Structure 1
Amino acid sequence: MFVKDFRKGFYDAIQHQYLIFVLKYLFINLLHTTILATSRTLNHDNYTSARVLVLVGFDVDALCACRILQNLFQSDQILYTIIPVTGKEELERSYVENSEGIKHVIMINCGGGIDVVETLQPEDCVRFYICDSHRPVDVHNIFNAVQVKLLMKEDEFDNLPDYDDLFREDESDEDSGNDSDSSERSTKRKRFDDEAIDKRRERRLWEEKRTKFLFDYEQFTTYGTSAALIMFELAWKMSKDTNDLLWLAILGVTDQYIHYKTPRDKYIDDVMALQSHVSRHNHRGDDDNIISINCLKLTFDEELQLALYRHWSLFESICHTVSLSCKFKVWTLKGQKRLHEFLAEMGLPLTQCKQKFASMDSSLRADIKPLIQSHMEKYGLVAQDVIVPSFSAQYGYKNKLCAMDVTLSCASILEAIDKGKTPTDNFLNAQDILQRVNVSAMEKGLETAKKQLQAIVTQVQTFLDMHQVISAGPFLYAFVQEGTHDVKYFSKPQCLMRLARYTLEAHCAMSRNKRARSMPLVLGTPLDIEQGTTLVIGIPPLQMDDERKNFFGKAFEQAAASTNSRTLHDCFDTFVMEMKTEDRSKFFDALISLLQ
């Protein structure tokens, strides 16, 4: 069930039950012992049943939403337990292990796509609050009016079927009559059989329509409003919003954009909504221009869409930015020459461009954006390839941090491949990046992000040089070869997503086939060589960028079912799955047949 008012239907409900719990134990213990004993009782075993369980998905948006919620809970002294979950199986296991005495469960960017009541089998008193940007949301969660509360914007569900189209109660087929006359019983039995046949026919037709309604609703994977933005709006309505929470909301919206989850129009709408909050929190009069050394200041501006250029060299940044590198085709000699011409025409010496951006001549560094804007048309660049509206944060007199750079840094740490580090360790390390005082964590994240981008570009160049992007008819496909040096980076869903997108854009830039932009891509990479598994992702064609609808979730399920392929659909993004490498051939044959 959708929650109309997030404050009353969600936060106040949790806070109210928590206060009742505390008052009840205070009252009971005051009757029997001292306040000190009461305090000891509340601080130990009895607090267990007052805790809120928070299950958090593994993406930057979920991490930022979690941080905002933590801030609200800490301000109201509400106890909570945070468990990061990487997939559906871990979600189920984490709930079972931590559900004792829990009355409220919050799911952030996880749980929306499964029937949580059927899957988790909770007690009747447990309430689930789901703030998940993944679409579609399971219809059982939507129409469960008791145990499931959806913290989502209802107007985003324009294709939701009606309740009567999905659920029905069958009338009893039992005959309650008790006639003694055999002929009368025979007549009634015949009439009863006719009615039963009609009911079965009606039932079959209804089930066929239900299947069609569900398929139309579930056939595409999309994304709704950022979970971090939802949580920030809750804090705003409670008058607890701050610049720090606003920055977290900005990072959540940015994460959706740089990982190709929302179209540019949706991103700009969210940015405009955030910009009004930035203006409100960062407005300064003429007599108040001094910034405290520990003050966070946010600014809105048109940002160069260059990967980590403030922390890299300009040349390396262009070569590792998807849109610009594909426009120049920097992996070819001709493309490198064209890039050199572009830089020379702007009056930027190559020696300056290849050194760290912060070390460039200050006059050149200040003019980078207007220079690129004034020369981009001649080289076939369009504004959306180069410029994107975004935000920057500045702590006192320290260097500015661009939202896209921080998001990439945080995402790289979430999917770090350091030996001995568990996903929970990565989650905690990623949280450190969001703390303004932890400069070393930010620098480590930026270096890790660079390594990921370098691995992606190297792999894309290998695909192109070896002609490994192959047309299967209705889609393109490519596979990362076993033994590839940086293959471990691609065993993570978000990094694999960026590799797939880079591969598709690079292939379309090089291909002479006019149909290339209308063809989706399926990309596979070795996951576990010992177990013989492959991680597979499917992304939509470039011409569907205005909608960002992905149809591979349902297609993967149907192809696997029709061939009995051994697959695991554990990821919250349904277009990512694991499969046995041995079943790859028959699975792809079925997928080709299905999509033709």
Structure 2
Amino acid sequence: MNMSLFLSVENLVFIMATTKRVVVKVIWNMKKRVLVLVAFDVDAMCACKVLQSLFQCDQILYTIVPVVGKEDLERAYLENSEGVKHVIMINCGANFDIVETLQPLENVKFYICDSHRPVDIHNVYNAVQVKLLMKETELSVPEYDLLFRDEESEDESGNDSDSSDRPVPKKKRFDDEAIERRRERRLWEENRNKVLFDYNQFSSFGSSAALLLFELAWKMSKDSNDLLWLAIIGVTDQLLHYKTPREKYIEDVMALQSHVSRHNHRDDVDIISINCLKIMYDDEMNLSLYRHWSLFDSICHSINMACKFKVWTLKGQKRLHEFLAEMGLPLTQCKQKYSSMDSSLKGNIKNIIKEQMPKYGLEDEDVIVPSFFAQYGFRNKLCAMDITLACASILESFENGNTGTDSFLLALDVLDRSNVNAKEKGIEMARKQLQAIIKQVQIFLDMHQVISAGPFLYAFIQEGTPDVKFFAHPQCLMRLARFTLEAHCSVSRNKRSKTLPLVLGAPLDREQGTLLVIGIPPLSLDEERKNFFGKAFEQAASSTNARTLHDKFDTFIMEMKTDDRSKFFDALISLLQ
């Protein structure tokens, strides 16, 4: 693969400055602003803040516009492209032909920092207008000659100005050559279609955009603890929303740990400033928001623990009570706010759970996850997982008539370490989301609404269900789908259930009669995190003329007319059998 097609961390620096300060700052000196298009996810927001810090260091003008889908991206570009020569796209733009979609002027260049895979081949091989900020080791793109072929200039028919003067045998030879060329082209096109199908069949995710841009800041010697904390949250977002396998997450954590050691090597006694940020690495209990909740409620709303104990059943609740009793944790202590628990119990919970977990079928990954904590002045520790959930919940909250941009700005406030009120509001919203998820999972299981269609499982949230508004957004719907699949597999007597993917639909717009539909891979393929529903959805919609909208940057999420649901699913079943 041609390495010049990719922007390495060092090569991207020319947008702002060079590490040696010997090359003119292209954009600054031209007095041109940079347009930054940012997707609606926490990783993209963190990457945006890192980039914003770098721009401010070099006094570069920029415009940041959040975008929720392809149509929104097109509109944002048209409205903000006047005078713009450089466009940076964060977690958007990689998996479709950006030049064909936006039809930019020839002097406009796009710099794509996007974790979505696969990358569209036209973006990969357009070395003039498109530059990719990605790790080449994560890309496996077919060779150029397998995908593109120069048009032949000669006339395949063999007819030219003096063909009448040629003897018949020579003309026949030209006809044979033309037939052979057409045959070769047909075989090449068949092979190209096969290569493209294999390349685009599965969607997945690469490295965190926030981590890549932090590495850029590091190469420029402009990294800081604050930017490192943003990179940590970006990596954590990929874990919590099932974008990356646990092994890849641990690799990223190990890389981040070296930076944490470098920036936080001082002893506690040296940190006396109230404005100082200190980051620490430690094993974290895999319990959702337990520091801001009761231990009992946190266990009941954490996917791994809830599914192991089956907390939505009376038997499961009894088993959970036994588990807490064997650990020596009184129920009254567990049901009060974690911060109010007896300090002698609270300080040893992690070790106690580790001792008791084999008896209850719990594994290390169910209970413990490597993570990071931030200490800001003399305030309580902030957990990266808690901040990620708080930020995601605000990002997908459209209360009080807020627009998408309003929610984006409010979510940015959660990342501001000094904005305590925004964090508390985000954590409260995250708790509401988790409560809505567990209630919906219980409805699915109690009403036996998770149904096997043969090649996959499916479930639909009924119109009028309480808290249905939470599930009209991709990230919350993703967590619900994953919780539903794990919960169903934990109670199902069919051993095949772990090998089946899940399709989940939620009401989106009652007036327009639309659904938001998501497809997730089976638990048996959890180590790969490859999703085939993007192409499957497109083919099923095309074969039935179902009214669908494939507008999301995550191809495995789409919108669909409720009236077309039956014929669409019939086609999807036939396709996947």
Are the equivalent residues in 1 in contact too, given 2:283–2:371 (CA < 8 A)?
yes
1:492 is matched with 473
Question: Could you tell me which of 59, 64, 80 is aligned with 1:98?
Answer: 80
Question: Could you tell me which of 118, 126, 142 is aligned with 2:124?
Answer: 142
Cα deviation for residue 187 of structure 1 reads 4.0
Question: Could you tell me which of 161, 185, 190 is aligned with 1:178?
Answer: 161
Cα deviation for residue 12 of structure 1 reads 1.6
Do residues 413 (structure 1) and 394 (structure 2) align? yes
Cα deviation for residue 203 of structure 1 reads 1.1
Are the equivalent residues in 1 in contact too, given 2:16–2:26 (CA < 8 A)?
no
1:280 is matched with 262
Cα deviation for residue 3 of structure 1 reads 2.9
- SS of the counterpart of 1:113? coil
Cα deviation for residue 180 of structure 1 reads 7.0
Do residues 11 (structure 1) and 13 (structure 2) align? yes
1:456 is matched with 437
Q: Deviations over 1:63-107 (max 9, x none)?
A: 000000000000110010000000011111111111011010000
Give the count of matched residue pairs. Answer: 568
1:83 is matched with 65
Cα deviation for residue 6 of structure 1 reads 2.3
Cα deviation for residue 585 of structure 1 reads 0.7
Q: Deviations over 1:264-318 (max 9, x none)?
A: 00000000000000011101158x5343211101000000000000000000000
Q: 1:67 to 1:192 in 2, by over 3 A?
A: same
Are the equivalent residues in 2 in contact too, given 1:61–1:251 (CA < 8 A)?
yes
2:560 is matched with 579
1:39 is matched with none
Q: Which runs of 5+ in 1 are unaligned?
A: 25-46
Do residues 240 (structure 1) and 222 (structure 2) align? yes
Q: 1:547 to 1:181 in 2, by over 3 A?
A: closer
1:470 is matched with 451
Cα deviation for residue 186 of structure 1 reads 4.3
Cα deviation for residue 237 of structure 1 reads 0.7
Q: Distance in 1 between matches of 2:365 and 2:300?
A: 17
Question: Could you tell me which of 386, 389, 411 is aligned with 2:370?
Answer: 389
Structure 1 residues 254-263 or 416-425, which shifts more? 416-425
Q: 1:68 to 1:21 in 2, by over 3 A?
A: closer
Q: Distance in 1 between matches of 2:522 and 2:474?
A: 18
Q: 1:244 to 1:123 in 2, by over 3 A?
A: same
Are the equivalent residues in 1 in contact too, given 2:284–2:371 (CA < 8 A)?
yes
Q: Deviations over 1:294-353 (max 9, x none)?
A: 110100000000000000000000000000000000000000000000001111111110
User: Given residue 199 of structure 2, which amino acid in structure 1 is its aligned partner?
Assistant: Y
- SS of the counterpart of 1:6? coil
1:33 is matched with none
User: Given residue 8 of structure 2, which amino acid in structure 1 is its aligned partner?
Assistant: D
Q: Distance in 1 between matches of 2:542 and 2:106?
A: 34
Question: Could you tell me which of 106, 111, 114 is aligned with 2:96?
Answer: 114
Cα deviation for residue 13 of structure 1 reads 3.6
- SS of the counterpart of 1:485? coil
Q: Distance in 1 between matches of 2:513 and 2:576?
A: 26
Q: Which runs of 5+ in 2 are unaligned?
A: none
Q: Distance in 2 between matches of 1:23 and 1:360?
A: 58
- SS of the counterpart of 1:478? strand
Cα deviation for residue 14 of structure 1 reads 4.2
1:131 is matched with 113
Q: 1:365 to 1:147 in 2, by over 3 A?
A: same
Q: 1:23 to 1:132 in 2, by over 3 A?
A: closer
Q: Deviations over 1:462-501 (max 9, x none)?
A: 0000000000000000000011111110000000000000
Q: 1:22 to 1:274 in 2, by over 3 A?
A: closer
Structure 1 residues 165-174 or 505-514, which shifts more? 165-174
- SS of the counterpart of 2:551? coil
Are the equivalent residues in 2 in contact too, given 1:14–1:104 (CA < 8 A)?
no
Q: 1:193 to 1:305 in 2, by over 3 A?
A: same
Q: Deviations over 1:172-199 (max 9, x none)?
A: 24257433755x2644443333222222
What is the percentage of aligned positions where both structures have the same residue? 71
Matches within 5 A, 1:208-287: 208-285=190-267
Q: Distance in 2 between matches of 1:503 and 1:137?
A: 30
Q: Deviations over 1:372-401 (max 9, x none)?
A: 111111111000000000000010110001
Are the equivalent residues in 1 in contact too, given 2:38–2:90 (CA < 8 A)?
yes
Q: 1:345 to 1:171 in 2, by over 3 A?
A: same
Q: Distance in 1 between matches of 2:558 and 2:97?
A: 19
2:45 is matched with 63
Do residues 310 (structure 1) and 312 (structure 2) align? no
Are the equivalent residues in 1 in contact too, given 2:396–2:473 (CA < 8 A)?
yes
Are the equivalent residues in 1 in contact too, given 2:15–2:27 (CA < 8 A)?
no
Are the equivalent residues in 1 in contact too, given 2:239–2:246 (CA < 8 A)?
yes
Cα deviation for residue 2 of structure 1 reads 3.8
- SS of the counterpart of 2:37? strand
Q: 1:368 to 1:180 in 2, by over 3 A?
A: closer
Q: Deviations over 1:195-253 (max 9, x none)?
A: 22222211111111101111111111100000000000000011111000000000000
Are the equivalent residues in 1 in contact too, given 2:519–2:533 (CA < 8 A)?
yes
- SS of the counterpart of 2:400? coil
1:192 is matched with 174
TM-score, length-scaled by structure 2 = 0.96
1:511 is matched with 492
Alpha-carbon RMSD across the aligned residues, in angstroms, is: 1.5
Q: 1:170 to 1:448 in 2, by over 3 A?
A: same
User: Given residue 113 of structure 1, which amino acid in structure 2 is its aligned partner?
Assistant: N
Do residues 291 (structure 1) and 269 (structure 2) align? no
Do residues 592 (structure 1) and 545 (structure 2) align? no
2:139 is matched with 157
User: Given residue 134 of structure 2, which amino acid in structure 1 is its aligned partner?
Assistant: M
Are the equivalent residues in 1 in contact too, given 2:291–2:339 (CA < 8 A)?
yes
Q: Distance in 1 between matches of 2:480 and 2:27?
A: 50
- SS of the counterpart of 2:306? helix
- SS of the counterpart of 2:495? coil
- SS of the counterpart of 1:579? strand
Are the equivalent residues in 1 in contact too, given 2:7–2:131 (CA < 8 A)?
no
Q: Distance in 2 between matches of 1:19 and 1:85?
A: 28
Q: Distance in 2 between matches of 1:172 and 1:530?
A: 55
Q: Distance in 2 between matches of 1:234 and 1:326?
A: 40
Q: 1:195 to 1:291 in 2, by over 3 A?
A: same
Cα deviation for residue 367 of structure 1 reads 1.0
- SS of the counterpart of 2:266? coil
Q: Distance in 1 between matches of 2:502 and 2:534?
A: 13
